Amino acid sequence: MALLKIENAMMQFGGLTAVKDFNLEINEGEIVSLIGPNGAGKTTAFNMITNVYTPTKGKITFNNTDITGMRQDLITKTGIARTFQNIRLFKDLSVLDNVLIGNHVHIKSNFIEAILKIPKYKREEKEMLEKSLSLLEELGLKDVINEKAGSLPYGKQRKLEIARALATNPKILLLDEPAAGMNPTETDELTAFIKEIKEKFNLSIFMIEHHMNMVMSLSDKIQVFEYGITIAEGTPSEIQNDKRVIDAYLGVTEDD
């Protein structure tokens, strides 16, 4: 049974249909990529999953639970985390504080218990700190825990954003153009990093990306969008040889 299943999802803004009849299944342990030209509706698809936009119609099921229209914080608690094309960190806070914020989604103490710092909250606070430090060490960021997030090099900021997402204990990680703005060396490093965290944290990954080498080397399946409509789906080799995909996105055909 699919971990994430999207059935006939549509997103309309007034008279504009941004995504139409979107169907997708992602199984446990899979990396699935969504590709297509700019403006094809890819990020809108992500936003429907995380309820930034509630789908105009259709159904989204995650881990046997209907999450269509569910509150964003509850979606995170079910096991879905995401990053954004434009890195969204708390840039004036430390690296450690950014990851601690990710941990807070699962805290059980209420506001009053936190203010009074009762033993229950102190235990949770200690557990969050230990978990955050361990995560940063695993991801190679422990040496910068006290630095402001905004002062980090671009590649480390991207890693930190992923670390904060991982702090929520996701079963699936949504990556929106993780290699945006990176040079080829940084992109290669990020590709290796994604492979590593996928295995280490037993993740499924749904990714939007324009770097085709990265997409082809990471993906188990690829879905191709054009004007909010799926025009192809399959393995990397099938997508590379699909004439409609070549025409629409990957380049020109030999007949041109």
* Range with lowest mean pLDDT among 44-48, 188-192, 234-238, 243-247: 243-247
- What does the pLDDT read at residue 251? 55
- What does the pLDDT read at residue 157? 93
Span 42-69, mean pLDDT? 94
Question: To 10 degrees, what angle do helices 119-138 and 95-103 make?
Answer: 120
Taking only the tens place, the pLDDT of each residue in 3-51 is 999 999 999 998 889 999 999 999 999 999 999 888 778 999 999 999 9
Question: For the chain, which domains are there?
Answer: 4-79+170-250 (3.40.50.300), 90-153 (no CATH)
- What does the pLDDT read at residue 53? 92
- What does the pLDDT read at residue 253? 38
Span 66-82, mean pLDDT? 93
Task: Using the predicted structure, report yes or no on whether residue 254 has a pLDDT greater than 50.
Answer: no
The one-letter code for the residue type at 155 is G
Q: Which residues pair with 221 in a beta bridge?
A: 32
Taking only the tens place, the pLDDT of each residue in 133-185 is 999 999 989 999 999 999 999 889 999 999 999 999 999 999 999 998 888 89
Task: Using the predicted structure, report yes or no on whether residue 252 has a pLDDT greater than 50.
Answer: no
Categorize the per-residue pLDDT at 241 as very low, low, confident or very high, splitting at 50, 70 and 90.
Answer: confident
Question: How far is Cα 124 from Cα 108, in angstroms, rounded to an integer?
Answer: 8
Q: How far is CA 238 from CA 64, 143, 221, 233, 242, in A?
A: 30, 43, 9, 8, 6
Taking only the tens place, the pLDDT of each residue in 85-120 is 888 899 999 999 999 988 877 766 666 766 767 777
**Do 48 and 11 touch, CB atoms closer than 8 A?**
yes
Residue where the block lists tokens 């399946």: 221
Percent composition of the chain: helix, strand, coil (DSSP 3-state, to 5) = 45, 25, 35
The pTM (predicted TM-score) of the whole model is 0.87
Which H or E element spans position 31? strand 31-35
Three-state SS at 231: strand
If you average pLDDT over every residue of the chain, what do you get?
88
**Do 246 and 254 touch, CB atoms closer than 8 A?**
no
Question: How far is Cα 119 from Cα 113, in angstroms, rounded to an integer?
Answer: 9
* Range with lowest mean pLDDT among 67-71, 167-171, 244-248: 244-248
Of the candidates 165, 203, 236, 223, the one whose C-alpha atom is nearest the C-alpha of residue 28 is: 203
**Do 208 and 225 touch, CB atoms closer than 8 A?**
no
Taking only the tens place, the pLDDT of each residue in 203-222 is 999 999 988 899 999 999 99
Task: Using the predicted structure, report yes or no on whether residue 223 has a pLDDT greater than 50.
Answer: yes
Span 125-135, mean pLDDT? 88
